[in-house]
């Protein structure tokens, strides 16, 4: 249950941060960083927001998807009736 709820909360926090950063939450493109000496546009905290958001979307998949985790929890709670 902790994995399921923790995943949902983390993804919602990342989504909120991405929305708060707005257009400054640019997608990560390593090619654009090579040899570029220009300072980043926007506040420092906004640069990694999109990268974290897209990276944490996978949390509900690895380690057993949330649907499988919920099914296991239901079987434990309801016994053979699930």
Position 14 scores a pLDDT of 92
Q: The pTM is what?
A: 0.63
Tell me the pLDDT of the chain averaged across its residues. Answer: 78
Residues 38-72 have pLDDT tens digits of 676 778 788 788 888 888 888 777 766 777 878 88
Please report, for the chain, the start and end positions of each structural domain, with discontinuous segments joined by +.
2-32+42-81
Query: What pLDDT, on the 0 to 100 scale, is given for residue 73?
Result: 83
CA distance 13 to 53: 9
Q: How many residues does the chain have?
A: 82
What are all long-range contacts of 62-69, with beta carbons under 8 Å and residues at least 24 apart?
A: 63/3, 64/3, 66/4, 66/7, 66/8, 69/1, 69/3, 69/4
User: What residue spans of the chain are helical by DSSP H?
Assistant: 2-21, 30-33, 49-56, 66-78
**In the predicted model, is pLDDT for residue 23 greater than 70?**
yes
């Amino acid at each position: 249950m902790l994995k399921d709820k923790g995943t949902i909360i983390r993804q919602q926090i990342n989504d909120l941060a991405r929305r708060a950063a707005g257009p400054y939450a640019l997608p990560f493109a390593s090619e654009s960083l090579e040899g570029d000496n220009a300072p980043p546009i926007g506040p420092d905290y906004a640069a990694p927001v999109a990268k974290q958001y897209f990276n944490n979307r996978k949390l509900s998949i690895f380690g057993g998807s949330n649907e499988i985790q919920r099914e296991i929890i239901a079987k434990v709670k309801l016994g053979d009736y699930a």
